[in-house]
Amino acid sequence: MRPGGKAFIARAARSALMGLLLGAGLGLAVVLLPVGSPAGPRMAEAATPEEAEAAAQAQDLAALAERRLLLPVQGVAASELRDTFNEGRDAGARPHEALDIAAPRGTPVVAVDEGRLVKLFTSVPGGLTIYQFDPSSRYAYYYAHLDRYAEGLSEGMTLQRGQVIGYVGSTGNANPEAPHLHFAIFRLDPERQWWKGTAVNPYPVLVKAGRGP
Ligand SMILES: [Zn+2]
């Protein structure tokens, strides 16, 4: 008997009817359960978490390169940046995951991109900090150790690219002898909460942006 034969069809019809009767008792969901191949369509090979994260990071670099970010400290050129992203902090207890950009206290700090100022936050390690989202709310820009904020900042306002938002300092756990801007970029989680995200290295993004078109 071929699977397409009459007996097969009759059997299929009977089991479909049984399914409907059962479904009537158990609710529509039962009827809507997929029938056919028990395992469902074969899924593409799942990437390891490391591979998925590497792919996400490559995407971050491409997306952020398109933003053509400004350098966040006035008067500091891309060639003067040092990649401090993978350095350890607290005697290696945690990764730095940011750039430290040294500059004299009081040097203006500018918004690297346009986008909403989401949070003005004072923390023990970061001191006076600013969290800004990019226009798509995919990324957060984080500026820390500020000496003070610029006049007129408020949460929820839209910052213009290049707008002065504060001044380099050493608030928080920075060495008072070595004022600097601690600048980080986070890929936000789907909930878009300013305090949750995955660090993206700003160094290649800023160096590329600073090179001009
Ligand atoms: Zn730092």
Centre of ligand 1 from the C-alpha of residue 55, in Å: 26
Q: What is the CATH number of domain 49-210?
A: 2.70.70.10
Centre of ligand 1 from the C-alpha of residue 56, in Å: 24
**Which residue carries 């380099």 as its tokens?**
168
Cα–Cα distance between 68 and 39 in angstroms, integer? 46
- Asked if 64 and 139 touch (Cβ cutoff 8 Å), the reply is yes
Centre of ligand 1 from the C-alpha of residue 106, in Å: 17
| Residue 93 amino acid letter | A
* Continuous H helices in 27-154: 28-32, 49-67
Q: What is the DSSP string of 151-181?
A: TT--TTPEEPTT-EEEEEB--TTS-TTS-EE
Indicate the pLDDT class of residue 91, thresholds 50, 70 and 90: confident
Neighbours of 73 (CB within 10 A): 24
* Domain parsing of the chain, residue ranges: 1-41, 49-210
Centre of ligand 1 from the C-alpha of residue 9, in Å: 70
Provide the pLDDT for residue 149. 98
**Which is more confident, 211 or 100?**
100
Centre of ligand 1 from the C-alpha of residue 167, in Å: 15
Centre of ligand 1 from the C-alpha of residue 68, in Å: 22
Q: If you average pLDDT over residues 45-49, what whole number do you get?
A: 77
What tens digit of pLDDT does each residue of 98-125 get? 999 999 999 999 999 999 999 999 999 9
Alpha carbons within 13 angstroms on the beta-carbon side of residue 74 total: 16
pLDDT at 12 over 60: no
DSSP state of 7: H
Q: From the CA atom positions of the chain, what is the Rg in Å?
A: 27
Average pLDDT of the chain to the nearest whole number: 84
pLDDT at 1 over 60: no
DSSP state of 24: H
What does each C-alpha distance from 149 to 4, 127, 141, 167 come to in angstroms?
Answer: 76, 11, 15, 7
For residue 150, give both structure tokens.
């610029």
**Which is more confident, 81 or 10?**
81
* Total residue length of the chain: 213
CA-wise closest residue to 110 among 66, 153, 81: 153
**Which is more confident, 32 or 75?**
75
